[in-house]
């Protein structure tokens, strides 16, 4: 049987209304009654009508529903308001509709009103698929038979699903470091929907993207190597070969990850820059602002230039940034790092060499208190570059 719960979750992202309920014996005809179709409670009227029905009058609209992302049926949205009846139902599926039969009593039916006003429907039969759907939205079986608040979606489950879908889509053993970073950004933005943080809270955004990329990378590692490691190795050499391959890839990804995320933050803040520009000789700072052309233009004011190095850790490597741009030797040299804490002696030496640390705001408290005021946040650096680029 095809696993469809992930497809259901994927479609909820494009849905204006999400309704779910367990099919009752009355819905499936198991009680022997003559009711037809799926009962819709009054709390879920917006799924099928823009306005509620009026007592004493029947109401009906015609639509189509695509089921299991496979086949389509007619659907009559009905309000029975005459006589003693006062209820809403979806009927008109046709005789060959497979799901309104006694065998499907207790299955979870999900009906989605898409943002383009079309409809999709799914029926989940197994406990695993039903739990997958309920866990995603963080609801219990008792909280069904109603419209679902999409804000309830469990972020961890959303992220896990997005990672699984990306891994399934891969056509190579491992994506490039840039593709990995961009996908982590896409997933994090999708799950938390805080694109405005790129400008409002870039420090948080940088760390959020970095954390998701780490989880994404580890998930791909597990998918690629999990069964191989579990089954063991025929000899030590093969084990060492794989271990070296994994470690080298980890080092390569970590070294580029920070650069990729900073690039996206700069683009999101409309900052002009040249990455990996060549200044003098083979010197190559990670970022030159506003451009390498401006840097090589001797008539361009040096106070309107800036360089930024990106190093995940910098405790022992910060001196590398001192000679990356000759024109900026007398200016501040900026170094963005995810390092948490550096000794006072090193910070004093950095200060004397005009190296300014740029650190995500929540990490600044890990540095000696005496030097915290000298450390720039990512947001402060972005505002500084925007100012000199005016």
Q: Where are the domains of the chain?
A: 5-152, 156-268, 274-388
Taking each continuous run of H as one helix and of E as one strand, the counts in the chain are 11, 13
Active-site residue (options: 295, 363, 367, 371): 295
- Between strands 119-124 and 59-67, the pairing is parallel
CA-CA-CA-CA torsion for 366, 368, 374, 376, nearest 10 degrees?
-10
- Half-sphere exposure of residue 296: CA atoms within 13 angstroms, side-chain side: 9
Give 131-145 pLDDT, tens digit per residue.
888 888 878 888 899
Q: What does the block give as tokens for 286?
A: 């990670």
Please report which confidence band the pLDDT of residue 1 belongs to, taking 50, 70 and 90 as the band edges: very low
pLDDT band with cut points at 50, 70 and 90 for residue 258:
very high
**Residue 230 reports pLDDT greater than 90:** no
Residue-level pLDDT at 294: 96
- What does the pLDDT average to over 77-89? 91
| 62 strand-pairing partners | 76
Instruction: Examine domains 156-268 and 274-388 and report if their fold is the same.
Output: yes
Question: Which token pair is 68?
Answer: 């299991």
Name the token pair of 189.
Answer: 């933005």
Banded model confidence at residue 34, pLDDT cuts 50, 70, 90: very low
Output helix, strand, coil percentages for the chain, rounded to the nearest 5: 45, 20, 35
119 to 132, 143, 371: CA distances (angstroms)? 22, 22, 59
According to CATH, what is the number of the domain 274-388? 3.40.91.80
> Which stretch of 228-237, 298-307, 360-369 has the lowest confidence by average pLDDT?
228-237
> Is it true that domain 156-268 has CATH number 2.30.30.60?
no
Reply yes or no on whether the pLDDT at 88 is more than 80.
yes
- The number of beta carbons lying within 10 Å of the beta carbon of residue 354 is 14
Indicate the pLDDT class of residue 301, thresholds 50, 70 and 90.
very high
CB 63 within 8 A of CB 41: no
What share of the chain in percent tops pLDDT 90?
53
Can you spell out the DSSP letters for 311-375? Answer: ES--TTTGGGGGGS-GGGTTS-EEEEE------HHHHHHHHHTTEEEE--GGGGGGS-GGGGGGP
Mean pLDDT for the chain overall = 88
Q: What pLDDT does residue 217 have? A: 86
Residue 35 reports pLDDT greater than 60 = no
Q: For the purposes of burial, counting CB atoms within 10 Å of the CB of 203, is it exposed (0-12), middle (13-18) or buried (19 or more)?
A: buried
| Range among 2-6, 108-112, 165-169, 194-198 with highest mean pLDDT value | 108-112
Task: Tell me which residue of 161, 139, 133, 163 sits closest to 152, measured CA to CA.
Answer: 139
Candidates 3.40.50.300, 3.40.50.2000, 1.20.58.1030, 2.40.330.10; CATH matching 5-152 = 2.40.330.10
Q: What's the full length of the chain, in residues?
A: 390
- 295 in active site: yes
Helices 236-268, 202-231: axis angle to 10 degrees equals 160
Residue 348 tokens, joined: 């004093």
């Amino acid at each position: 049987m095809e696993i469809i719960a992930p497809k259901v979750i994927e479609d909820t992202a494009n849905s204006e209304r999400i309704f779910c309920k367990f099919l009752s014996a009355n819905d499936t005809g198991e009680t022997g009654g003559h009711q037809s179709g799926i009962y819709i409670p009054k709390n879920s009227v917006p799924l099928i009508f823009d306005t509620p029905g009026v007592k004493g009058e029947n109401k009906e609209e015609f639509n189509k529903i695509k089921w299991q992302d496979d086949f389509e049926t007619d659907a009559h949205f009905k309000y029975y308001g005459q006589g003693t009846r006062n209820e809403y139902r979806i009927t008109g599926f046709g005789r060959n509709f497979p799901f309104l039969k006694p065998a499907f009593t207790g299955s979870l039916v999900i009906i989605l009103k898409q943002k383009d006003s079309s409809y999709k429907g799914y029926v989940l039969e197994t406990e695993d698929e039903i739990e997958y759907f309920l866990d995603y939205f963080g609801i219990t079986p008792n909280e069904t038979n109603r419209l679902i608040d999409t804000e309830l979606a469990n972020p961890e489950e959303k992220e896990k699903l997005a990672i699984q879908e990306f891994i399934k889509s891969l056509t190579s053993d491992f994506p490039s470091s840039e593709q990995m970073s961009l996908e982590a950004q896409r997933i994090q933005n999708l799950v938390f929907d805080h694109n405005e943080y790129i400008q409002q809270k870039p420090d948080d955004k940088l760390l959020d993207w970095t954390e998701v990329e780490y989880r994404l990378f580890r998930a791909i590692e597990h998918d690629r190597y999990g069964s191989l490691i579990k089954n063991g190795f025929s000899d030590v050499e093969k084990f060492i070969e794989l271990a070296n391959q994994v470690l080298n890839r980890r080092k390569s990804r970590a070294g580029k990850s920070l650069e990729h995320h900073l690039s996206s933050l700069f683009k999101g803040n409309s900052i002009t820059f040249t990455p990996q520009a060549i200044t003098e000789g083979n010197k190559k700072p990670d970022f030159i602002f506003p451009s390498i052309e401006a840097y090589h233009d001797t008539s361009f004011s040096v106070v309107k230039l800036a360089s930024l190095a990106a190093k995940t850790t910098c405790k022992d490597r910060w001196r590398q940034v001192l000679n990356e741009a000759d024109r900026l030797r007398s200016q501040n040299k900026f170094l963005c790092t995810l390092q948490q804490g550096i000794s006072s002696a090193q910070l004093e030496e950095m200060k004397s060499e005009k190296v300014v640390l740029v650190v995500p705001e929540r990490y600044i408290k890990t540095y000696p208190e005496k030097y915290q005021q000298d450390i720039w946040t990512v947001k402060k650096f972005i505002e500084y570059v925007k100012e000199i680029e005016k």
